[in-house]
């Protein structure tokens, strides 16, 4: 009997040692991985000062501080290896840290983790981390969402994340590294840095995000203490906020935006019932910085577009999330702005004309205001200031240096925008065939029409060449 127990524990011991061995990475091999994959951002000594560090925003983490944001160990305990592995696998939606899941072997990942932990002595001086207690999970239900909403409001989440979770609270925030912090837009779970699974969100609410203003809601010494059940209700509420119409879908990439035919007048109204049944497409906005200023971090990652047309006109509904209503002169805007407040603005770009050339991709003008061979029309709208009304104009250009501008009113471009609850909705309407200018794009039905969009966030330094933009996409007017 004793012999058997001994044998069993020997086997267990061997298995255990084997297990531990397999889990522990090799620091020396890890250094080599780090120098190949991570050094350009995180720097030779892990100080976050690599070769391209000043091109990414927020800046790469300085590992010597020993502060980690997205972890599953309680309070100020060091992160678990699982957390560091998750970061390496997933990267960050809201920062320039790449996802390495398929780019590194499991051994390379373990090794680089072992090496990363040598940059700060906290991994040696602090006790090994535990995992937070998830308590008894409360599954998703309407009732739980209602409870979660009450707690969300009672606990002051809206101060930073806004009533509807758009991250539009009027509170200017910074992290301990001195970087501007924008509270996460909770309606876009694909932008969460710490993962958007139920347990990930529970962990964030429990621990908070160390180094940032995002507080812990499980600190018994703080007034913010919530028990596990309450935290799960909030998780369910946060999940209920997701807005799928703003998600850029891979399967839609090759489908053109369909403009819907309307028998009657087109409404210059963002709330018109006609928009309800209109097809929509969400497009990704990429940061542009042709002014060559310091790379900036856009506060918005996409735009959702709808279009209607009749025999005379075409109208677009452009919708995008924006944490700040940037109208120069507005006191809230002044309070939230990075530097001077500029107008929020949006632009739609078409070619000046469609040439009968095949394949159609070969007649795309340069995305940056067209080129000598292929010119473009840009329909522009901005939010105005507290003393100047919203404005529209049309820009005709054959490249950045070669352009002319007409006020919208002169070429039948009408626009109207509304900002509410962290969302801009703007309608832009123009005639399909314009007779008074040969440079205006003449729309045709049943044809693929190149279209692209640009967006300026005036509270985040957005002005002139400093903005975000989509790539060329396609629009089609179908009269069915």
Binding site for ligand HEC (CB under 6 A): 37-38, 40-42, 56, 58, 60-61, 68-71, 84, 87-88, 92, 95-98, 100, 112, 116, 152, 155-157, 159-161, 173, 181, 183-184, 186, 192-194, 201, 204-205, 209, 212-215, 217, 234, 238
The nearer residue to ligand HEC, 37 or 281, going by C-beta atoms, is 37
Q: Where are the beta strands (DSSP E) in 83-122?
A: none
Rounded least distance, CB 289 to ligand HEC, Å:
16
Nearest to ligand HEC of 98, 279 (CB atom): 98
Between residues 186 and 327, which has the closer beta carbon with respect to ligand HEC? 186
Residue with tokens 């009304």, as numbered in its chain: 389
Sign of the alpha-carbon torsion through 366, 368, 369, 371: negative
Q: How far is the CB of 204 from ligand HEC (least distance, A)?
A: 4
Nearer to ligand HEC, 165 or 375 (CB): 165
Gap between the Cα atoms of 152 and 142, Å rounded = 15
CA distance 150 to 166: 17
Smallest distance from the beta carbon of 184 to ligand HEC, in angstroms? Answer: 4
CB-wise, 233 or 425, nearer to ligand HEC? 233
Query: Cα separation of 181 and 18, whole Å?
Result: 43
Look at the block and give the residue holding tokens 């819907």. Answer: 260
Residue number, 110 or 467, with CB nearest to ligand HEC = 110
CB of 436 to ligand HEC, least distance (A): 50
Cβ 84 to ligand HEC shortest distance, Å: 5
Q: How far is the CB of 113 from ligand HEC (least distance, A)?
A: 7
Give one word for 180, left, alpha or beta, with left for phi > 0 and alpha for psi -120 to 50: beta
Q: Which of these, 33, 29, 31, 51, lies nearest to 42 by C-alpha position?
A: 51
Contact criterion met (CB below 8 Å) for 246 and 304:
yes
Q: Provide, rounded to whole angstroms, the least separation between the CB of residue 227 and ligand HEC.
A: 13
Task: Report d(CA 199, CA 186) in Å as an integer.
Answer: 15
- Cα distance between residue 65 and residue 46, in whole Å: 10
Give the residue with the Cβ less far from ligand HEC, 69 or 369.
Answer: 69
Could you tell me the CA-to-CA distances from 361 to 349, 358, 473, 474 in Å, in that order? 16, 8, 11, 10
Smallest distance, ligand HEC to C-beta of residue 253, A: 24
Complex with ligand HEC: residue 26 or 252, whichever CB lies closer: 26
* CA 435 from centre of chain: 41
Least distance from ligand HEC to the Cβ atom of residue 225, Å: 11
Rounded to whole angstroms, the Cα distance separating 463 from 327 reads: 13
CB of 231 to ligand HEC, least distance (A): 8
The nearer residue to ligand HEC, 70 or 296, going by C-beta atoms, is 70
Tell me the closest approach of the beta carbon of residue 455 to ligand HEC, in angstroms: 21
Q: Which is nearer to ligand HEC, 112 or 475 (CB)?
A: 112
DSSP letters, 385-454, are -SSS--EEEEEEESSTTSEEEEEGGGGT-EEEEEEETTEEEEEEEEESS-SS-TTS----TTS-EEEEEE
CA distance 452 to 379: 11
Instruction: Say how far apart CA 363 and CA 352 lie, in whole Å.
Output: 11
Return the number of the residue (203 or 454) whose C-beta is nearest ligand HEC: 203
Paired with 423 in beta bridges are: 321, 420
């Amino acid at each position: 009997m004793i012999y058997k127990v001994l044998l069993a524990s020997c086997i267990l011991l061997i298995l255990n040692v084997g297990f531990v061995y397999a889990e522990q990475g090799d620091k020396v091999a890890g250094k080599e991985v780090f120098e190949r994959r991570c050094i350009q951002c995180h720097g030779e000594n892990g100080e976050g000062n690599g070769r391209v560090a000043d091109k990414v925003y927020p800046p790469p983490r300085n590992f010597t501080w020993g502060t980690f944001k997205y972890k599953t160990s309680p309070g100020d305990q060091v992160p678990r290896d699982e957390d560091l592995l998750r970061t390496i696998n997933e990267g960050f939606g809201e920062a320039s840290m790449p996802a390495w899941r398929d780019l590194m072997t499991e051994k390379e990942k373990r090794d680089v983790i072992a090496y990363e932990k040598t940059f700060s002595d906290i991994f040696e001086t602090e006790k090994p981390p535990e995992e937070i207690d998830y308590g008894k999970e409360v599954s998703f239900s309407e009732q739980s969402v209602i409870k979660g909403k009450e707690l969300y409001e009672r606990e002051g989440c809206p101060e930073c994340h806004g009533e509807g979770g758009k991250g539009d609270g009027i509170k200017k925030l910074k992290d301990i590294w001195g970087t501007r912090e924008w509270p996460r837009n909770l309606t876009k779970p694909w932008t969460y840095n710490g993962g958007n699974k139920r347990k990930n969100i529970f962990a964030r609410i429990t621990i908070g995000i160390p180094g940032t203003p995002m507080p812990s809601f499980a600190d018994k010494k703080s007034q913010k203490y919530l028990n596990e059940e309450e935290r799960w209700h909030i998780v369910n509420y946060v999940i209920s906020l997701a807005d799928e119409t703003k998600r850029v879908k891979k399967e839609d990439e090759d489908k053109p935006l369909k403009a819907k035919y309307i028998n009657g007048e087109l409404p210059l109204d963002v709330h018109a019932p006609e928009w309800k049944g209109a097809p929509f497409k969400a497009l990704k906005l990429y940061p542009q910085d042709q002014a060559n200023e310091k790379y900036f971090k856009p506060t918005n990652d996409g735009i959702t577009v709808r279009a209607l047309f009749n025999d005379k006109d075409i109208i677009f509904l452009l919708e995008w999330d924006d944490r700040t209503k940037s109208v120069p002169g507005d006191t809230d805007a002044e309070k939230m702005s990075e530097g001077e407040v500029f107008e929020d603005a949006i632009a739609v770009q078409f070619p000046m004309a469609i040439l009968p050339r095949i394949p159609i991709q070969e007649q795309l003008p340069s995305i940056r205001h067209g080129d000598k061979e292929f010119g473009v029309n840009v329909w522009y709208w901005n939010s105005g200031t507290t003393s100047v009304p919203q404005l529209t104009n049309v820009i005709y250009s054959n490249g950045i240096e070669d352009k002319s501008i007409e006020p919208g009113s002169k070429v039948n471009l009408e626009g109207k925008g509304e900002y509410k609850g962290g969302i801009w909705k703007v309608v832009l309407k123009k005639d399909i065939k314009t007779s008074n200018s040969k440079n205006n794009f003449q729309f045709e039905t049943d044809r693929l029409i190149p279209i692209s969009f640009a967006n300026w966030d005036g509270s985040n330094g957005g002005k002139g060449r400093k903005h975000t933009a989509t790539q060329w996409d396609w629009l089609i007017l179908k009269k069915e």
